[in-house]
Amino acid sequence: MIELGVNIDHVATLREARKGVDPDVLEAAKLCEMAGAHQITAHLRQDRRHVQDQDIELLSELLEVRLNFEMAAVPEIIAVAHRIRPYQVCLVPESREEITTEGGLDVASDIEHLRAVTADMHSHDIQVSLFIDPDPRQVDAAVAVGADCVELHTGPYANAHGDEAMAVALQQLQDCGRYVIDAGLTLNAGHGLNVHNLEPVARIPGLHEVNIGHAIISRSIFIGLDNAVKEILDVLDRCAA
Ligand code: PXP
What integer pLDDT is reported at residue 24 of this predicted model?
A: 98
Q: Which of 71, 43, 74 is nearest to 59 (CA)?
A: 43
Closest protein CA for atom 1 of ligand 1:
190
Q: Is 193 in the pocket of ligand 1 (CB under 6 A)?
A: yes
Alpha helices in 90-154 (DSSP H): 111-123, 136-145
Give the model confidence (pLDDT) of 96-111 as tens digits. Answer: 667 766 789 999 999 9
What integer pLDDT is reported at residue 101 of this predicted model?
A: 65
Do 200 and 236 contact (CB within 8 A), yes or no?
no
Q: How far is the CA of 108 from the centre of ligand 1 (A)?
A: 21
Low-confidence ranges of the chain (pLDDT < 50): none
Give the model confidence (pLDDT) of 120-147 as tens digits. Answer: 999 999 999 999 999 999 999 999 999 9
- Angle value at C-alpha 32, between 40 and 16, nearest 5 degrees: 70
What integer pLDDT is reported at residue 96 of this predicted model?
A: 64
Catalytic site residue from 43, 50, 151, 153: 43
Q: Is 43 in the pocket of ligand 1 (CB under 6 A)?
A: yes
- Angle value at C-alpha 206, between 88 and 161, nearest 5 degrees: 90
Q: How far is the CA of 64 from the centre of ligand 1 (A)?
A: 21
